[in-house]
Structure 1
């Protein structure tokens, strides 16, 4: 990994997790990539609830704006940036990759098609910091808003796929119940990237980064990024 540097700066991995995912701990993708020598930054869409009302019919704009703002800060620390989007973060990752022309994109269980609506509701359900009976209506309404905005986010991502030209890796688990794994084929077949790969993991569910094959996923992500960045540096004449 030491050779994948330029002007003293390293490759950065901008990781967008699922709605209310956690980036902490020593058994995460972020931690693994740091161990391989990458700079990493991890965020979740729900983070923006700290600065805006969760009961917002257009909250997906806040999800995108928050990710854009954090990416703008992160790029200054890196030679180049790879966006890694997990679950709903994959939809946001597609937006970032198209708008900012990042050097590579990895989607992990990005939800284009849904198989289990109840499971999707659980995935998007808003959880207030303080639970009380007075918050019940707020939870229901904000979750409905999340569902509405999720649909808007899917539609936007589908429109942007044909504009993607960066190297792409699509990762999809096959034991997933919430997302129809044909979502992976849709993403793979609708991008214009010359360098694109697709990888299925047969033993994992939706939360693949915490499942039994997570180490294989981490290794696959690392291998793809090294390959993409080596190609970039070769074109630029650095290796």
Structure 2
């Protein structure tokens, strides 16, 4: 087996009747969520980490997919967990957080944890990416490195992520952000929203927007001062797990 292959495979850890659906971010892979999945499984919960269409392969494959595909993947993962779980929680990073919010607007989950979910992207140029679509098919990811990197953590904790982004997919993400943002008022489940202060991909104002839009559920919100965009692999990841554990214990169980 390709030593990188395990990084992009979906994962499932069977447990009790409370299921956690883990969803990774835009242009990333399930590797962003695997460590968190392993830690959550230690509490006895069932954990499913999905791989979104077009991700974990090549940017060319991602270019063939769109928001509708990723939303369908999220719903399929939810349905899979429901086979063994009575209660299902959505936990997502970045676009994964956006997909979790989407599931909640449909009333499909019992609770949500959204980490660095985008309402406003940090790079203002992304708002006008549709203008270059007729001329450019891919854009380089700012600060991109190789497909796998240790991110300065445990050398075994690698992350698979694209260094090029399909413009068409980015346009579709922007549409997804607008769609979800317009429906946030429909959310009725317990919610935990977390945001990294040092996030240079998602503008931290996004959490305040979400908080205001879903104030009807009195969401719990928390800023992380030391972490970057990939909160699930950042230096505060253990504290993040503790917050999620407290949320599930106090608001879901």
TM interval, shorter chain, is: 0.7 to 0.9
Counterpart pick for 1:87 among 81, 91, 94: 94
Report deviation, 1:207. 1.0
Task: Report the number of matched residues.
Answer: 208
Shift, 1:53, TM fit: 5.4
- 1:205 is aligned, of 210, 228, 232, to 228
d(CA) in 2 for partners of 1:77 and 1:47? 27
> Does residue 1:154 correspond to 2:177, yes or no?
yes
Contact between 1:83 and 1:93, CA under 8 Å: does it hold in 2? yes
- Kept in 1: contact 2:22–2:33 (CA 8 A): no
Distance 1:26 1:86 in 2: 8
* Residues 91 and 157 in structure 1, CA contact (< 8 A), matched pair in contact too: yes
**1:38 to partner: Cα distance:** 0.6
Q: CA deviation at 1:20?
A: 4.0
1:75 and 1:81 in contact (8 A); partners too = yes
Pair 1:163-2:186 in alignment: yes
- Confirm or deny that 1:64 pairs with 2:71: yes
Aligned equivalents of 1:110 and 1:102: distance in 2?
17
Mapped to 2, the partners of 1:186 and 1:25 lie a distance apart of 25
* Residues 44 and 89, structure 1, Cα contact 8 Å, conserved in 2: no
How many Å separate the matches in 1 of 2:227 and 2:20?
23
TM norm structure 2: 0.73
Deviations 1:166-199 (A, max 9, x none): 0010000101111110100101110154341000
Pairwise CA distance, 1:98:
1.7
Mapped contact 2:109–2:189 kept (Cα < 8 A): yes
CA RMSD in angstroms comes to 3.0
Distance 1:183 1:44 in 2: 24
Cα pair 1:115 1:180 within 8 Å, conserved: yes
- Normalised TM-score (structure 1): 0.77
Asked if 2 retains the 8 angstrom alpha-carbon contact of 1:170 and 1:199, the reply is: yes
Structure 1 counterpart SS, 2:92: strand
CA shift in 2, pair 1:157/1:107, >3 Å = same
> Aligned in 2, Cα 1:61/1:37: closer, same or farther, shift over 3 Å?
same
Contiguous gaps of at least 5 residues in structure 2: 1-14, 127-138, 148-162
How far has the Cα of 1:217 moved from its partner? 0.5
